[in-house]
Amino acid sequence: MTHALIELHDLGFAWPGQPELLDLPALRLGAGESLFLRGPSGSGKTTLLGLLGGVQLPGRGQVHLLGQDLARLRQGARDRFRVDHTGYIFQQFNLLPFLSVRENVLLPCRFSALRRQRAEQRHGSLNEAAQTLLGHLGLPAGLWDRRADALSIGQQQRVAAARALIGQPELVIADEPTSALDSDAREAFLRLLFDECQAAGAGLLFVSHDQSLAPLFDRAESLIDLNRAARPREA
The torsion angles phi and psi of 145, rounded to 5 degrees, stand at -105, 10
**How many other C-beta atoms can be found within 10 angstroms of the C-beta atom of residue 116?**
18
User: Which CATH entry fits the domain spanning 32-57+75-230: 3.40.50.2020, 1.10.390.10, 3.40.50.300, 3.60.40.10?
Assistant: 3.40.50.300
Rounded to whole angstroms, how far apart are CA atoms 137 and 151?
14
Confidence (pLDDT) at 235:
36
Q: What is the pLDDT of residues 153-180, one digit of tens each?
A: 889 989 999 999 999 999 999 998 887 7
The pTM assigned to this predicted structure is: 0.91
- State the DSSP code for 209: S
Average pLDDT value for residue range 80-108: 93
Residue 87 gets which letter from DSSP?
E
CB-based contact 41:209 (threshold 8 Å): yes
pLDDT of residue 234: 45
Q: Which amino acid is at 234?
A: E
Find the DSSP H helices in the chain: 45-52, 75-85, 101-111, 113-123, 126-136, 153-165, 183-200, 223-226
What is the structure's pLDDT at 232? Answer: 57
